Structure 1
């Protein structure tokens, strides 16, 4: 087998000056980056997803079920028929939801359009709405006592010495008189 000898440095320079080397191929940008603007426009125009459902979920299922359920995502079918709405449900409420599937899908048809959602997929797990609902309610501000009742209460406690006991009795008296009204 015959091997050619390597070129000398001068010959190598001549060869390289005659032949241009190609620059390496650039890595294509991520598809999500180039499609982001297009997707935003489509979402504004046709934005039917769990975000749109969460805003109106109380209207669809009612306040009691809305506290114990939340829409997670809409799964489109491969055949092009109606999709599946995945619901996260808090514990035993799943049986209630299962009985109300026809009513819920009818209401979803009104909101999203006929046939967008044809089935419900129930997944049991923690619900964010339940955590927000379990926060202690803020105390309501009660209206002040009318002047005549306040005067009668102060007169009945006038013989008590000033101090924390008198303040506590005034507070208790105001609470009792408000509840009587």
Structure 2
């Protein structure tokens, strides 16, 4: 079997003019573009769910209860009236939640809309550990230099040894370190 020789540059141009090449494939549209209307419909039908609540749970119930509780799901009522928020609660905190239910539902009305949640369903069980808020530690100030330390000790030399002298030394160091 003999191979055909390759076409020359002019012949290649002529072949390309006669034949139509396939157009380049377009990339598919972003998935979010077609999902956005569906998500909007589902949100209108079923509500936002616990994801919105979990993000702002500390604001709703406070720091103490947020560590011992977590929202699980929002259950819509069959009649279309207010739903029920299912809470997972750690042990004896359930009585506190039950006592504060009216305040919690009022705060939920502010976030989700009036009448979105009318009841709380309390389920006792383990609560996922939430990340503690980052507390800024005070910056350590540099120690006094030797001359300042000596001047402070000289000014307190006539004080009797004991707790008062130690407290005055500590106060003096704090005052001298503060740049204000």
What's the counterpart of residue 92 of structure 1? Answer: 92
Asked if structure 2 preserves the Cα contact closer than 8 Å seen for 1:70 and 1:129, the reply is no
Provide closer, same or farther for how the CA distance between residues 143 and 77 of structure 1 changes in structure 2, counting only shifts above 3 A: same
Q: Quick check: 1:148 aligned with 2:137?
A: no
What's the counterpart of residue 126 of structure 2? Answer: 126
Structure 1 CA distance for aligned equivalents of residues 74 and 119 of structure 2: 10
Asked if structure 2 preserves the Cα contact closer than 8 Å seen for 1:68 and 1:89, the reply is yes
TM superposition shift of 1:48: 2.2
Aligned ranges 1:65-104 → 2 under 5 Å: 65-104=65-104
Structure 1 CA distance for aligned equivalents of residues 39 and 54 of structure 2: 19
Deviations, residues 57-96 of structure 1 (Å, cap 9, x unaligned):
1111111111111111000011111110000111110000
TM superposition shift of 1:147: 3.2
Aligned residues between the structures: 122
Provide the TM-score with structure 1 as the length reference: 0.55
SS where residue 145 of structure 2 aligns? helix
SS where residue 147 of structure 1 aligns? coil
What's the counterpart of residue 41 of structure 1? Answer: 40
Deviations, residues 123-163 of structure 1 (Å, cap 9, x unaligned):
11111245x34x9x88936323343369749xx9xxxxxxx
SS where residue 85 of structure 2 aligns? strand
Provide closer, same or farther for how the CA distance between residues 73 and 177 of structure 1 changes in structure 2, counting only shifts above 3 A: same
What's the counterpart of residue 60 of structure 1? Answer: 60
